[in-house]
Amino acid sequence: MKTIIKLLAITSLVYSSCVPDLDLERVDSKSVNTFYRTPEDANSAAIALYGQLRDLYRDEVINTPNNVASDDAIPFLTGNADRVALWNYNLTPENTFVGNIWATAYSGIQRSNVLLARVPSIEMDDQLKNQYLGEAHFLRAFHYFNLVRFFGDVPLVLEEVTSLNGIEVPRQPSDQVFETIIDDLNTAGQLLPTSYTGNDVGRATRGAAMGLLAKVLLTRAGNNSASPYWAQAAAKAKEVIDLGLYDLWEDYEQVYDMANRCGKESLFEILYITDLSGNNLATGYAPRGAPIVPGTGSGILRATKSLFAGYEANDERKAVTFLTSYIHPNTGAVVNLSIDNPDPALAVSFWKLADLTATLSGQAGKSFPYLRFSDILLIYAEALNESNGGPTDDAYAALNRVRMRAGLQPLDGLNLTRFREAVLKERRLEFCFEANRWFDLVRRDRLIEAVKAENSFSRDANIKDFNRYLPIPQREIDANAALIQNEGY
């Protein structure tokens, strides 16, 4: 794992300045043209692909819309104005979170395209070459999956950009983008190994590609009960289950134990190193001013009452997920936190990804869990329910494995609609603050309903039907005449 972080610095050698319209990186410098010569070059370039993921989740670029634009979190209301704008749906194309999602994704896509163009000509071991190509296909699909879910139709760039000529690329229909994602993940699944050893642990695997494909197919099914993608999603999730490589940890808390990084429940995660290459998930989410993390807490967001109250009394995930009190290290006094006190210094905080071993502010080392085995089980349960017109024994078994790990009683006797609701609720509680909720609400056409229902702190969100997509960043519209803005913006 350390290798991935340690060699991210190679990015500065392989990739140079940005092209404004798609934020694609120039590759016509001498350093690039002389770089792709050896197997070591290929490995370093493949490792550098992961740098974009670290940036996306370190400063919660992807996680912010899934938190505050859904019904799960409330931002510090006098804090970052663009975060508050996501919360109350006063969205503009100049929003920095929107711009960062787009720019980082296309920069990552360019990195994959460069590797796919240049590594095949390197004389090296075929198995390793296939691995590197598989990683590039996987991560290109990863970025396009974020883009198509956030923006809908997007430019489809599948070749290395080597000059500024001809880069005014129009948006392509989302169906075509999805087909490209599916093709990339199928290719990655054929090329990637099932596992790694030593410092390579944490790189994309065959199981990660298969699992992400199951999620893509589930997303493509949308809210259409007649979609053929339900059956395809169920079949792909079953393939992952049948690999026999993944399982649930016995206790929910073990999922986030740093000793279990890249363990049996992880299909893919974003890796960090404490005090060296960390994230802001402890300092940022701690109660504002709380002296329990380096530099004190920032309190950038807090959990909503509807999320907090959604857990049953005996749900073991609740105590792991939230910080509800702490002992002041200076006074020894117990500080009790509140779900509805407007003071951000006293707010119940998201806590399951907090690394309390960090000594530097914003340098926590817990991984961001992008895709877990419990996700595969719930994908399988949801897809079986929809494709069979109601829950099957296997659907119940998959859902109840997740519930019983949380200390809950198994469910039974549900019809199609009630089982659907049970799975969506389970997804909210199991994956809160793991960049899933907004995507789940959008794909199930529940976004407006959920946002309007969560009205804490006088939210009164100005949400409309067109908000199922974010605006195309204004910087991209200005630089690329071929781009057309999303409806409503």
Identify the pLDDT of residue 11: 36
Kindly state the DSSP code that residue 473 receives in the 8-state scheme: P
Among 467, 274, 408, CA closest to 353: 274
Give the mean model confidence (pLDDT) for residues 466-477.
Answer: 97
For the chain, the average pLDDT equals 92
Q: How far apart are CA 151 and CA 309, in angstroms?
A: 31
pLDDT level of residue 370 (50, 70, 90 thresholds): very high
Which residues face 303 on adjacent strands? 73
pLDDT at 472 over 60: yes
Q: How far apart are CA 460 and CA 85, in angstroms?
A: 12
Q: Token match 């948006």: residue?
A: 171
Identify the pLDDT of residue 203: 98
Amino acid, res. 118 = R
Among 339, 340, 270, CA closest to 60: 270
Q: Six-digit token pair at 306?
A: 């509807």
Question: What phi and psi, each to the nearest 5 degrees, are found at residue 370?
Answer: -70, -45
pLDDT at 1 over 80: no
Give the mean model confidence (pLDDT) for residues 363-378.
Answer: 97
Give the mean model confidence (pLDDT) for residues 115-123.
Answer: 97
Is residue 339 domain-resident? yes
* Cβ neighbours of residue 68 closer than 8 Å, sequence gap 6 or more: 74, 75, 83, 84, 86, 87, 301
Domain containing 333 equals 272-366
Number of domains in the chain: 1
Identify the pLDDT of residue 23: 36
Give the mean model confidence (pLDDT) for residues 70-98.
Answer: 95
pLDDT at 29 over 60: no
Cα of first residue to Cα of last residue in the chain, in angstroms, is 42
* Cβ neighbours of residue 125 closer than 8 Å, sequence gap 6 or more: 39
pLDDT level of residue 163 (50, 70, 90 thresholds): confident
Q: Encode pLDDT of 40-77 as tens digits.
A: 999 999 999 998 898 888 877 898 999 999 999 999 98
Identify the pLDDT of residue 26: 43
pLDDT at 432 over 60: yes
pLDDT at 166 over 90: no
Give the mean model confidence (pLDDT) for residues 410-429.
Answer: 98
Give the mean model confidence (pLDDT) for residues 270-292.
Answer: 95
Q: Six-digit token pair at 136?
A: 């590039």
Judge whether 361 and 316 are in contact, CB under 8 Å. no
Q: How far apart are CA 188 and CA 203, in angstroms?
A: 12
Q: How many alpha carbons lie under 13 Å from residue 331 in its C-beta half-sphere? A: 7
Is residue 358 domain-resident? yes
pLDDT at 119 over 50: yes
Judge whether 414 and 391 are in contact, CB under 8 Å. yes
Is residue 246 domain-resident? no
Q: Encode pLDDT of 199-252 as tens digits.
A: 999 999 999 999 999 999 999 999 999 999 999 999 999 999 999 999 999 999
Amino acid, res. 469 = Y
Is residue 293 domain-resident? yes
* Cβ neighbours of residue 80 closer than 8 Å, sequence gap 6 or more: 300
Would you call 281 exposed, middle or buried from its count of C-beta atoms within 10 A (0-12, 13-18, 19+)?
Answer: buried
pLDDT at 19 over 50: no
Judge whether 256 and 320 are in contact, CB under 8 Å. yes
State pTM to two decimals. 0.93
Amino acid, res. 470 = L
Is residue 486 domain-resident? no
CA distances to 45, 312, 439, 472 from 424, in Å: 39, 15, 11, 29
Give the mean model confidence (pLDDT) for residues 374-384.
Answer: 99
Among 430, 434, 287, 285, CA closest to 364: 285
Is residue 1 domain-resident? no
Identify the pLDDT of residue 21: 31
Judge whether 135 and 205 are in contact, CB under 8 Å. no
Identify the pLDDT of residue 32: 60
pLDDT level of residue 156 (50, 70, 90 thresholds): very high
Q: Six-digit token pair at 256?
A: 């986030």
Is residue 328 domain-resident? yes
pLDDT at 10 over 50: no
Is residue 276 domain-resident? yes
CA distances to 230, 376, 444 from 227, in Å: 6, 19, 13
Identify the pLDDT of residue 33: 66
The size of the chain, in residues, is 489
Identify the pLDDT of residue 14: 35
Among 337, 241, 357, CA closest to 293: 357
- Residue-by-residue DSSP string for 153-177: SEE---S---SSTT--PPEE-HHHH
Judge whether 365 and 357 are in contact, CB under 8 Å. yes
Give the mean model confidence (pLDDT) for residues 325-346.
Answer: 96
Q: How far apart are CA 286 and CA 345, in angstroms?
A: 9
Q: How far apart are CA 480 and CA 484, in angstroms?
A: 9
Which residues face 325 on adjacent strands? 336
* Cβ neighbours of residue 227 closer than 8 Å, sequence gap 6 or more: 220, 221, 386
